[in-house]
Amino acid sequence: MSFDTIRQSLESYVNANWAGVPMAYDNVPFTPPSNGAAWVRMTIQEAGREIHEIGAVSADTVGLVSFQIFTPKDSGTAAARQIADQLATLLDIKNISGVKTQVLRLRKAGFREDYEQHNADVPFEFNAIV
């Protein structure tokens, strides 16, 4: 599976199943909500490829599905954690067209303009026989 096929699989799955706050995708035009409401940005970060030669030769692609969660500044952390819970329900321990996800990890990233930012990462791997 190519890098772009992995991207298509993950973005299509999230787009078809996400019913939460507005979601931005990499290099796709997006305007954050004008009322300062919460929103999320999804990014797919490949971390590398490895070749394994036990039995059949296979190639593992590993990476992260990363989400930047933006919630209004000075509004507490409940909304960000609820969005992270929704993302975890959507992506924890799934097999999406052969892309296997692990569990979501959440961390606070600080403030950006009028938003507080939390980052949520879901490690993934894809194994292909070559």
For the segment 82-100, what is each residue's pLDDT rounded down to a tens digit?
Answer: 999 999 999 999 999 999 9
Q: What integer pLDDT is reported at residue 124 of this predicted model?
A: 96
Cα angle 108, 49, 128 (rounded to 5 degrees) comes to 115
| Alpha-carbon 41 to chain mean position | 8
Residue 115 lies in a domain: yes
Asked if residue 28 belongs to a domain, the reply is: no
Residue 27 forms part of a structural domain: no
Quote the tokens at residue 14: 């999230």
In this predicted model, what pLDDT tens digit does every residue of 48-63 receive, in sequence order? Answer: 877 777 777 777 889 9
Work out the number of other CB atoms within 10 angstroms of the CB of residue 69: 27
Whole-number pLDDT of residue 54: 74
In this structure, what CATH number is given to the domain that contains residue 114?
Answer: 3.30.2000.10
Question: 71 with 112: CB under 8 angstroms?
Answer: no
Tens digits of per-residue pLDDT, 7-46? 999 999 999 999 999 999 999 999 999 898 999 999 999 9
Q: What φ, ψ does residue 12 adopt, rounded to 5°?
A: -65, -40
